[in-house]
A and B are shown apart, each in its own frame.
Chain A
Amino acid sequence: QKEVEQDPGPLSVPEGAIVSLNCTYSNSAFQYFMWYRQYSRKGPELLMYTYSSGNKEDGRFTAQVDKSSKYISLFIRDSQPSDSATYLCAMSRNTGTASKLTFGTGTRLQVTL
């Protein structure tokens, strides 16, 4: 069983739709949760970063963490064609220092006109 599970998609939505992307995880030691966006043949770009449970909002993006369910979400409001990319969830433990990220496989999102 993978530590982090993510539906690979592809997920196709019309422009303006609300997009919901999700990951589940099995390791309760994960404390830091991130979402990255990766365009084709580019490096991952950090979108959102949250610590422990709760919500965080940044513009059109909202990240949610539910540690009791081991479930994290990224919502994109008013989706745009430029949001078409692969979205990767990532998480790490609280070791008191920096530590490796464990990634989901990524969800490919296509926003159509």
Chain B
Amino acid sequence: NAGVMQNPRHLVRRRGQEARLRCSPMKGHSHVYWYRQLPEEGLKFMVYLQKENIIDESGMPKERFSAEFPKEGPSILRIQQVVRGDSAAYFCASSPDRGMQTQYFGPGTRLLVL
């Protein structure tokens, strides 16, 4: 059973460009979460989604950031008009319907904004 998959693993963008980060949850998992980890800081929750629904976006910045988890395909975290402060590691996690409190993390996407 493949784990949580994220791509790309590394992403370089210039200021003002768009970044798209993709996450495929573990097989059978319908809950997806996005977290951001800044250097020397812990992981901070951004958004929690189920298929086609945003359940909790209390950690998402109000502007430039959006997330989706369509019926088919991976979850996407989209950052528009990136700024240097967006440089961080972005982790996706998923959990099953049973035992939904246990979240399993992907390898992360490291975004560098030049």
List A residues at the B interface (Cβ < 8 Å).
4, 6, 8, 32, 34, 36, 41-46, 49, 51, 88, 90, 92, 97-106
Cα separation A46 to B107 with both chains bound (whole Å): 13
Instruction: Given A49-B102, A97-B100, A98-B101, decide whether A43 and B91 contact each other with a Cβ distance below 8 A.
Output: yes
Instruction: Determine how close the nearest CB of chain B comes to the CB of A5; give it in whole angstroms.
Output: 11
B contacts with A: majority SS: strand
- How many of B's residues come within 8 Å of A, CB to CB? 29
Which of B31, B42, B93 is the one whose CB lies under 8 Å from A88? B42
From B6, B40, B45, B107, A101 is in contact (CB under 8 Å) with: B45
Nearest chain B residue, comparing its CB with the CB of A36: B105
Q: Which parts of B67-114 form the interface with A (CB within 8 Å)?
A: 91, 93, 95, 100-108, 110
Q: How far is B41's CA from A88's CA once the two chains are assembled, in angstroms?
A: 11
A43 touches B106 (CB 8 A): yes
CA distance A90 to B58 in the complex (A): 17
